[in-house]
Amino acid sequence: MTITLWRRLLAEFTGTALLVTAVVGSGIMASTLSPADVGLQLLENSIATALALGALILIFGPVSGAHFNPVVSVADWFLGRRAGTGLTVRDLAGYVPAQILGAIAGSVLANLMFDLAAVDLSGKERTGGHLWLGEVVATAGLILLVFALARSGRAAVAPAAVGAYIGAAYWFTSSTSFANPAVTIGRAFTDTFAGIAPASVPGFVGAQLVGLAVGAGLLVALHPDAGLAADRVVVPTEGPDPTLDHR
């Protein structure tokens, strides 16, 4: 059964929105509960984000693949195009806007839940070569992880593995691992712990695209046939029709 595009786009929109809600909402809660300890705030924010990401992949993966991230979707299209697998150009043209709009909606939802202005552009500057390098590393590692799991037939562990990687990358990268252009744009719409100033967004997104190129290049060098598994990123979007009795 091939799932219709509109259902996959709804899953990408909703999943990305809830992911950003988790990132922003847990950041607001962490600032409230631990106002004098930035390290504890980051710990609280990273744990909540990692757990939420794993759960969201489980929920939406069987529908859309739970990309929630334009660099994952672009890599899926790029690696699968020669093998006739993965996203088509039409799919990609729908996935990326759905992810970006979902991320913005997620920030708005988090702001409203904590009785803040629905849209409050962030004033938190995040700029500098060291932060951009952190985004290159975080994004390249994410691409390698996701597609290596699919290629080796271990896509079923993606919810735990991807959540664990993002949670860890909060701590080992200088940028706290945004690794996602849609999430980066969405986080510009909240002036809270997880926010990023709109002027800082282009630098982060540019670094993430460099990370995409680095990650895809390494993947092709390590696994030349990785594109054959593009239909299994992050979780297979095709399977038996649940309305039929397969007993």
CATH number of the domain to which 178 belongs: 1.20.1080.10
Distance CA 225, CA 133 (A): 28
User: What is the DSSP track for 98-153?
Assistant: HHHHHHHHHHHHHHHHTT--S---------SHHHHHHHHHHHHHHHHHHHHHHHTT
pLDDT at 236: 61
Q: Position 30: which residue type?
A: A
Query: For residue 200, which phi and psi values (nearest 5 degrees)?
Result: -90, -15
Whether 21 is in a domain gets the answer yes
Whether 39 is in a domain gets the answer yes
Tokens representing residue 65 in the block: 């693949």
Cβ pair 153, 189 in contact under 8 A:
no
Residues 6+ positions from 21 with CB-CB distance below 8 Å: 106, 107, 109, 110, 113
Whether 234 is in a domain gets the answer no
The DSSP element (H or E) to which 223 belongs, if any, is none
Whether 245 is in a domain gets the answer no
Distance CA 160, CA 182 (A): 21
Whether 168 is in a domain gets the answer yes
Domain of residue 112: give its range: 5-224
Gap between the terminal Cα atoms of the chain: 17
Whether 98 is in a domain gets the answer yes
Residues 6+ positions from 106 with CB-CB distance below 8 Å: 16, 17, 18, 19, 20, 21, 23, 24, 186
Whether 233 is in a domain gets the answer no
Task: Say if residue 187 is exposed, middle or buried (CB neighbours under 10 Å; 0-12, 13-18, 19+).
Answer: buried
Whether 237 is in a domain gets the answer no
User: In Å, what is the CA distance from 193 to each residue of 107, 181, 200?
Assistant: 12, 18, 15
Digit-by-digit pLDDT tens for the chain (247 residues) are 678 999 999 999 999 999 999 999 999 999 999 999 999 999 999 999 999 999 999 999 999 999 999 999 999 999 988 778 889 999 999 999 999 999 999 999 999 999 999 999 999 999 999 999 999 999 999 999 999 999 888 888 999 999 999 999 999 999 999 999 999 999 999 999 999 999 999 999 999 999 999 999 999 999 888 888 888 888 765 544 433 343 3
pLDDT at 237: 55
Domain count, the chain: 1
Tokens representing residue 177 in the block: 């691992």
